[in-house]
Amino acid sequence: MCKDCGCSGVDHGHEHEHVHDGHSHKHGHTHGVEHPHEHLHPHSHPHLVPAVAEARTVSVQQKILSRNDEQAARNRAWLSGHGVVAVNLISSPGTGKTFLLEKTLEGLRGKVACAVITGDQRTDNDARRLQGKGAPVRQIETINSCHLDAEQVGKLLPEVAGNGVKLLFIENVGNLVCPSAFDLGENFKIALLSTTEGEDKPVKYPTLFSTAPVAVLTKMDLAPHLDWSAAACRTALRQVRPGVFIFELSAKTGQGMDAWLDYLVKLTE
């Protein structure tokens, strides 16, 4: 390949102008892969154009998160092969996901074999809160990441969700934006929203609330003390996800917990 003019094709001709003491001449030649280019005379030729590089555009048409999605598909196959229903719980920090899970595990104990994978940036506080309720629990510390990904979950599946588990709760990192972009292999996402957060949150964060077919309104016991309207919140949820299935409950007082637990039991039947 010619090192001066940058021609990179396999077979094409080009012209060189040569200057030899006092005279000049042109000659054409063809480049092959190997470039026999021998002359008996010394050979220098200035080029006016810089080295030419070859530019081209290739169509790719791939999902940017295809590696995560492929792992999510493997997780989904594993879960379905082991008869496990998995739900991915997503909400802001402080909505009460862990407290709801504590009460849910207590309520389902002896009825449905449950397991939990819980994610936080730091600490295993949540896993410790969920211990001793008859369900295997594993904590993922994401450190600097704002979401769980399919690989983190996939690694834990055999140890946490094997052995006859029927229902796996994946408690995502508290965050309304990032976790909704990462498929973990769950059956579906459940969005949670507490009465202290404002009714219009579904419209402010449509990415999550449009993805989740089920929404849970938590801390309903606080509703009478707040300037908060359940009707306005339901409207906002349906604006971004028509047909969304909505639970209203308080894990603290037990209000609405029966319907929630019945629903979870039915998921696994």
Partner 1 sequence: MHELSIAQALVEQVEAVVAKERASRAVKVMIAVGVLSGVEPEALHGAFPLVAEGTTAEGAELVVEKVSARVRCLACGQESPTDIYFMGCAQCGSRSVELTAGRELHIQSVELMTDER
Judged by CB under 8 A, does residue 68 bind partner 1?
A: yes
* Residue 239 found at the interface with partner 1 (CB under 8 A): yes
Nearer to partner 1, 47 or 128 (CB): 47
Provide, rounded to whole angstroms, the least separation between the CB of residue 51 and partner 1. 5
CB of 75 to partner 1, least distance (A): 17
Figure out which of the listed residues 11, 61, 110, 143 binds partner 1, where binding follows CB under 8 A. Answer: 61
Q: Are 5 and 53 in contact (CB under 8 A)?
A: no
Told to check if 6 binds partner 1 by CB under 8 A, we report yes
Q: What is the DSSP letter of 1?
A: -
Helix H, strand E, coil C: the string for 75-107 is: HHHHHHHCCCEEEEEECCCCCCHHHHHHHHHHH
Q: Is 65 in the site for partner 1 (CB under 8 A)?
A: yes
Q: Name the phi and psi angles at 101, rounded to 5.
A: -65, -40
Q: Per CB under 8 A, which of residues 88..147 are in contact with partner 1?
A: 145-147
Contact track, partner 1, 216-235, x by CB under 8 A: --------------------
| Residue 1 CB, nearest approach to partner 1 (Å) | 7
Residue ranges binding partner 1 (CB under 8 A): 1, 3, 6-8, 51-68, 145-147, 149, 177-178, 180-182, 203, 206-208, 210-211, 238-243
